[in-house]
Chains A and B, each alone.
Chain A
Amino acid sequence: MRIPNIPLSFVTRHGSKAWPLGLTGAGMLIIGSLLSWSYDAQVLGNLSISFNPGGLQRLAIALALFAVVFLLASKGPLVRLGQWADTALGLRALATWTLLFMTLVVVAITVEAGGLINVQPGGWVSFLGAMVLFAASRLVMPTETRDLAEAVLPGWVEILVIVVIMAGLLFGAAYALSLDDAWAFVLFLVFVTGMAVAATRAGLLSWLGHVTARHKRVLILASFAVAFTFPLTQGGSDANMSIASQVLVFAAAAMGLNIVVGLAGLLDLGYIAFLGAGAYVGAALSTSGFATIGWKPPFIVVVLVAGCFSATLGLIIGSPTLRVNGDYLAIVTLGFGEIFRLTMFNLDGNNGPDLTHGPNGIPAIPDLSFGSFNFGDTHVLLGIPLARFSNYYFLLLLLMAFIIMVFHRLNTSRIGRGWVAIREDEKAAEAMGVNIFGLKILAFVIGAFLAGMAGAIKAHQDVSVTPDQYIFLESAFLLAAIVLGGMGTIVGVLVGAVILKLLPEKLRFFADYRLLLFGLLLVLMMRFRPEGLVASRRRQLEFHEEDEELAIRAEGDIAEKVQA
């Protein structure tokens, strides 16, 4: 989103007016939000009552307050913050997104309630406020800022910041999932994106990067605490937990693929087959009445067998193709994905041994149970009932932690550096004595193994396994999650997976256009931000080789890591 700049002469002449203008805009936004926005009380939650702001009105107030902080930091009591944060850039981004937010609110009320007439004066005041704020933000002059790496707060304050942000994430996620209205959900997304973009532009996010680098343990602990407490915010409802556990399966598979694509740079277009292989092993060895194999080992063994089975398939498919050009690998894995699906489709007793019941798949897979803990039952924790999907959610979270650990340990090891070397220049790596073929196979097999494990759990969670769950499009979705989030990063891929899996669940009104937009998104992403939403500096550099400034910053990052 790039808006043409106003001529510098105009800005210098009127720059002094930015500050009062901005405060006026923010004030109008807040006042408008306290008044009624909509005549119709049924639209977007209830926005029709004055002096009792509804959810979206509170979001507008939050945006305005954030803008006030920026304004006061550029001139006023918070000026010390202004030395560090780039308030002008932050304010510009924030004002742009706020205007978008308010425009969408007006559009949403018009569309939903049937006519512009339904927008109450409060809505117009807020909308005007957003426009004034936008105008003011274009007049703010950028200032010199100091290096954020030097901005060190006392240790406990920094930890507190991490905890507060994590708590914000938790409640934000719970709030987002509770929004049933598609418009409200979109507006919430606009709000979150606007806040994030503004924070990034102002440099707050890179400061946060420095803080989390200093307190890595706290961050990891806090993230898992948030993930584990998430089911408790649902008040016993299993509907959202069903979505959440599907997101986790998807994210686990995406993280496994991230090892193959993101770290080793091998494009695998048939990855879903490894997940499917694991799921079929899990189903065939389960106690379902339709299971086709007589052996019923405990689930731990099944998970390992599923992983090993997938890994073996990976070895079979990888060993011939990894010797040749990487492009072939993409197509051969694509072919392999199709072979897998067709084989599962065909092994129905007529066209081969009856292992999978063909297109019908293996249904009625029973819930897991460890000892007396059955995953199908509802358990009560802290007075909050946790039903079936919550149980699977916890199990998948453990798997996720394991996969992230494997990912992280590999990435920072000798092996990981070997992969980076291969990814960037295979010839040079080989000349330096990196075992190219061995490392590629290793990446491929580890990725397959992890997917197999996830698949075995997925089989139980989904109750049935059929071939049509493992079509090519699913592989493309996994790949898209990685590309969207940021190849080779942990946070990025998690973000990508959540976005790609959650959005279709929440935005059913454009269900028909989902794939169209998905294709377009891939193309635009590769065109404008190939490194993904959350990109590691090194990755960014791979895609923008000519960017000198970026190279210097990337070097700074490495230096910081060495010191730490």
Chain B
Amino acid sequence: MDTFIQQLINGLSLGSLYALIAVGYTVVYGILQLINFAHGEVFMIGAFGALTTSLVLFNGNTALWTLPVMIIGAVVASVTTAVLMERFAYRPLRNAPRLAPLITAIGVSVFLQELVRLNYNKVPFTSWNPFNLPDAKSRIPFPQIDVVTGPAIQVGGVTIQRAAIFTIGALVICSALLWYFINRTKMGRGMQAVSQDADTARLMGINVDRIIVVAFALGAVLAAVAGVAQGLQNNNIDFRMGFLAGLKAFTAAVIGGIGNVEGAVLGGLVLGVTEAMATQYIPGQFGGGPWKDVWAFVLLILVLVFRPQGLLGAKEVDRA
């Protein structure tokens, strides 16, 4: 029983991370029917934003009060990236065939990864490094903030990492704020209207372009929080971290029912728990860590076969 609870908690903390990123996919998809493939990179840049803030402003100080500032730094980096991306890469393709924005997204993704890899510690095409930042070509240690990291907490036979508590807590707080934003603010309701019918929403006086920017920014905020959580959980970050995390988060969004915000959160948790359980309970050679990613994608395919609209998605007649 202890192992089960242990894996459940591992799964939930992993799943919270997926859920935070998945919201970004689902919000943008709900409005634009666009898979923002580069969203994983927004998450990665969030983590680097937090790291940069810590190194530049606090010189790597790990006191708890630096954490909120780091999160703000992460959010600024992510949101800037997402908004620029929307403005310069996706907006010109609003009416193009569907293949075009998806290919653009791949391009943006590769571009952002390389930008961080090559130019994190220097101004482009020079070797000038004003803040003495580390080289991003390999893994960079992430500042281990007091209180939210450190010795694990033992409850009976179960070990709970402090970073896991932080991640799950972050998801709870973010979901609550997100729910409030979407259902109780004017902007959030505008967002719902646009995702139901963009043309009618426009006729009702909603500025669709602004709503789209807000959707990208909203996803970026949550991705930035996820980036900080990932850094705290893994102790280090690197420029490649967005690829697999983004892929998993998209899987989570599909599992929950893409376009559905509650679904994204649920899908993330389900995916995380499935991965943790597969690691523990699939017997023989095909269990264990090396295969957990494979089982996650198998889950995606199973969901698509048996319930293509996802766990919480309504049955859709037309989405060609």
- Establish whether residues A331 and B250, one from each chain, have CB atoms under 8 Å apart when the complex forms: yes
- Establish whether residues B300 and A332, one from each chain, have CB atoms under 8 Å apart when the complex forms: yes
- Establish whether residues A324 and B97, one from each chain, have CB atoms under 8 Å apart when the complex forms: no
- Establish whether residues A328 and B304, one from each chain, have CB atoms under 8 Å apart when the complex forms: yes
- Establish whether residues A325 and B110, one from each chain, have CB atoms under 8 Å apart when the complex forms: no
A267 within 8 A of B: yes
Q: Mark A448-465, 1 if CB is under 8 A from B, else 0.
A: 000000000000000000
Query: Quick one: which of A321, A332, A513, A516 has the most chain B CB within 10 A?
Result: A516
Within 8 A of B (CB), among A330-378: 330-332, 334-336, 338-339, 342-343, 345-346, 350-353
- Establish whether residues B251 and A512, one from each chain, have CB atoms under 8 Å apart when the complex forms: no
Residue of B nearest to A475 (CB): B106
Give the interface segment out of A111-119, A276-284, A390-398, A517-525: A517-525
B interface majority secondary structure: helix
B281 within 8 A of A: no
- Establish whether residues B285 and A473, one from each chain, have CB atoms under 8 Å apart when the complex forms: no
- Establish whether residues B104 and A320, one from each chain, have CB atoms under 8 Å apart when the complex forms: no
Cα A521 to Cα B103 in complex, Å, equals: 11
Cα A323 to Cα B306 in complex, Å, equals: 11
Q: Which of A265, A325, A487, A516 contacts B111 (CB 8 A)?
A: A516
Contact size class for B?
A: 35 or more
Given known pairs A321-B304, A324-B304, the reply for A331 and B115 (CB within 8 Å) is: no
Q: Which of B99, B108, B254, B285 contacts A353 (CB 8 A)?
A: B285
A474 within 8 A of B: no
- Establish whether residues A476 and B304, one from each chain, have CB atoms under 8 Å apart when the complex forms: no
- Establish whether residues B294 and A519, one from each chain, have CB atoms under 8 Å apart when the complex forms: no
- Establish whether residues B93 and A526, one from each chain, have CB atoms under 8 Å apart when the complex forms: yes
Given known pairs A519-B111, A523-B107, the reply for A542 and B89 (CB within 8 Å) is: no
Task: Return chain B residues, CB-CB under 8 Å to A261.
Answer: 99
Cα A323 to Cα B305 in complex, Å, equals: 9
- Establish whether residues A483 and B103, one from each chain, have CB atoms under 8 Å apart when the complex forms: yes
Given known pairs A353-B285, A526-B96, A527-B93, the reply for A321 and B301 (CB within 8 Å) is: yes
Within 8 A of B (CB), among A514-561: 515-516, 518-523, 525-527, 530, 542-543
Given known pairs A324-B308, A328-B308, A351-B285, the reply for A526 and B101 (CB within 8 Å) is: yes
Cα A336 to Cα B301 in complex, Å, equals: 9
B102 within 8 A of A: yes
- Establish whether residues B102 and A352, one from each chain, have CB atoms under 8 Å apart when the complex forms: no
A426 within 8 A of B: yes
B179 within 8 A of A: no
Task: Return chain B residues, CB-CB under 8 Å to A527.
Answer: 89, 92-93, 104
B114 within 8 A of A: yes
Q: Mark B108-142, 1 if CB is under 8 A from A, else 0.
A: 11111111001000000000000000000000000
Residue of A nearest to B306 (CB): A320
- Establish whether residues B320 and A325, one from each chain, have CB atoms under 8 Å apart when the complex forms: yes
Given known pairs A325-B320, A522-B103, the reply for A320 and B305 (CB within 8 Å) is: yes
Residue of A nearest to B244 (CB): A338
Given known pairs A330-B35, A343-B294, A352-B286, the reply for A526 and B107 (CB within 8 Å) is: yes
Q: How far is the CB of A466 from chain B (nearest CB, A)?
A: 16
Task: Return chain A residues, CB-CB under 8 Å to B97.
Answer: 530, 542-543
- Establish whether residues A267 and B102, one from each chain, have CB atoms under 8 Å apart when the complex forms: yes
- Establish whether residues A327 and B297, one from each chain, have CB atoms under 8 Å apart when the complex forms: no
Q: Mark B226-256, 1 if CB is under 8 A from A, else 0.
A: 0000000000000000011001001100100
Within 8 A of B (CB), among A481-518: 483, 487, 512-513, 515-516, 518
Given known pairs A328-B254, A527-B104, A543-B96, the reply for A338 and B297 (CB within 8 Å) is: yes
Cα A483 to Cα B304 in complex, Å, equals: 28
Task: Return chain B residues, CB-CB under 8 Å to A346.
Answer: 290-291, 294
Cα A476 to Cα B112 in complex, Å, equals: 15
Cα A135 to Cα B230 in complex, Å, equals: 58
Cα A10 to Cα B113 in complex, Å, equals: 49
Task: Return chain B residues, CB-CB under 8 Å to A522.
Answer: 103-104, 106-107, 110
Query: Quick one: which of B35, B107, B111, B251 has the most chain A CB within 10 A?
Result: B107
- Which residues on A are within 8 Å of B, measured CB to CB? 261, 265, 267, 269, 317, 320-321, 323-328, 330-332, 334-336, 338-339, 342-343, 345-346, 350-353, 426-427, 472-473, 476, 479, 483, 487, 512-513, 515-516, 518-523, 525-527, 530, 542-543
A-B contact pairs, 12 of them (CB 8 A): A331-B251, A332-B297, A351-B286, A351-B290, A516-B111, A519-B108, A522-B107, A523-B107, A523-B108, A525-B107, A527-B89, A527-B92
Q: 15 additional contacts, CB 8 Å, given A267-B102, A343-B294?
A: A325-B308, A326-B320, A327-B98, A328-B308, A331-B247, A332-B300, A332-B301, A335-B300, A338-B297, A339-B297, A351-B290, A352-B285, A426-B320, A512-B118, A519-B110
* Smallest CB-CB A-B distances: 6 pairs: A522-B107, A519-B111, A519-B110, A335-B297, A516-B114, A320-B305
- Which residues on B are within 8 Å of A, measured CB to CB? 33, 35, 89, 92-93, 96-104, 106-115, 118, 243-244, 247, 250-251, 254, 285-286, 288, 290-291, 293-294, 297-298, 300-301, 304-305, 308, 319-320
